[in-house]
Amino acid sequence: MHTQGLVEKLAERIRRGGPITFAEFQDAALYDPEAGFFTTGGGAGRVAGDFVTSPEVGALFGTLVARYLDDAWHRLGEPDPFVVVEAGAGRGRLASDVLRTGPACAPALRYVLVERSAMLRSEQRELLTIEPADEALGPVVLSTDPDDDEPQRSRGRRPGWRSGATQEADELAPGTGPIVASIDELPGIAFDGVVVANELLDNLPVRIVERTGDGWAEVRVGLDGDRLVAMLVPADATLAAEADVVAGGAKVTPGVRLPVPTVLADWLAAVAGVLRRGEVLLVDYAENGAGLAARGQGRWLRTYRHHERGGDPLDAPGSQDITCDVSLEYLRSIATRAGFVVADESTQADWLTDLGVEALVEEGRAVWRERAHLGDLAAISGRSRVGEAAALLDPDGLGSHRVVTLERTVR
């Protein structure tokens, strides 16, 4: 189904049920099973993609995330299994770089990619060896079969190895990681570990509100003839209360719009439902409510297509990415409501600096100096590190992303 088909489908829905929320529109534009942007091949990538994310800049970001994961593993007391769920994992570039680094937690690691787009899930197989999900999430158990003399986890199933949470009496097999699995939504079972999400939040659908003289109105998507148009309806009390949280106490003048990330609130509550003990690492476009109000909808709601800024968000749904900055006050509020403690907040530039990016760049420079005349792979990746760091730390670009770490201790 092409863009026109999706417009007709949405128009039919609006004719039957009335104007839809912007979140419903955005969900269809990005994830419609036939014509959504991410369903039909949109996504991150340095060359062929529609936008560049930190993992797609190069391997350096994954190297530093691997350090963070090792730190978190130590903080948690080195659990085995150590489950890392990467939400919105795209084509698996971050996972692949983390694993290539060979982190200390690798023998305990069950790395679960969660990606909504079936096309991107299948692309992950080009970068990673993906095992059945129950091998990552159910305990892989060591065989008690005396004929099974190979004390390692096998790739795929073979006699002598079984998996499943019900086999508690059997000996758990520690040190059998890393095991990588891929699923389309958060796992349904509780685990200890870390949830990582790089540039997921800005792709979760938002509702939009506009300040009026006496409160908030909601911006919905309706029809003008056959054309999709924005229209205002009164905001219900729940949405108005959430809008106040997004504003974070800032004075918002009539006519100013703000995004209310209701789907993010649901997602974070779902994470709280499965993460028994551990951390959530969120890296994304975010800013305080006053900043969002000052910048206006044209700046916090953006579209991208083939590395260029796209058109109006209501134009050609399915053909462009639609992303939205997150209010920091709202993020803190929903995190607390879900039972998390906000452990740390910084910019990506500061966070990567704390993880030791400068020393890695210096190392890269030294390799380049020594081997430039050879022009081999080591020399080139040494030089590439310098450029990657500049992009990842750029205060006007990826370096300004917010990094928020949440902790979950007791249940």
Ligand X SMILES: C[S@@+](CC[C@H](N)C(=O)[O-])C[C@H]1O[C@@H](n2cnc3c(N)ncnc32)[C@H](O)[C@@H]1O
Binding site for ligand X (CB under 6 A): 38, 43-44, 53, 55-56, 87-90, 93, 114-117, 120, 185, 198-200, 203-204
Contact 170/142 with Cβ under 8 angstroms? yes
Please, which residue, 162 or 302, has the CB nearer to ligand X? Answer: 302
Min separation Cβ 266 and ligand X, Å: 9
Please, which residue, 24 or 56, has the CB nearer to ligand X? Answer: 56
Please, which residue, 118 or 172, has the CB nearer to ligand X? Answer: 118
Please, which residue, 7 or 44, has the CB nearer to ligand X? Answer: 44
Min separation Cβ 56 and ligand X, Å: 5
Min separation Cβ 36 and ligand X, Å: 9
Min separation Cβ 149 and ligand X, Å: 40
- For the residues of 292-346, what is the DSSP string, one character each? HHHH-HHHHEEEEETTEE-S-TTSSTTSSEEEE-EEHHHHHHHHHHTT-EEEEEE
Please, which residue, 55 or 289, has the CB nearer to ligand X? Answer: 55
Give residue for tokens 């420079």.
365
Min separation Cβ 245 and ligand X, Å: 21
Long-range contact pairs involving 63-66 (C-beta distance under 8 Å, separation at least 24)? 63/97, 63/101, 63/360, 64/352, 64/355, 64/356, 64/357, 64/360, 65/94, 65/97, 65/98, 65/196, 65/281, 66/97, 66/98, 66/101, 66/103
Please, which residue, 116 or 408, has the CB nearer to ligand X? Answer: 116
Min separation Cβ 308 and ligand X, Å: 16
Give residue for tokens 């209310």.
260
Q: Which residue is nearest to ligand X (CB)?
A: 88
Min separation Cβ 379 and ligand X, Å: 27
Computed from CA positions of residues 270, 30, 28, 22, in that sequence, does the dihedral angle turn out positive or negative? positive
Beta bridge partners of 309: 304
CA distance 70 to 78: 9
Please, which residue, 84 or 217, has the CB nearer to ligand X? Answer: 84
CA–CA distances in Å: residue 230 to residues 22, 55, 211, 300, 312: 9, 35, 15, 17, 11
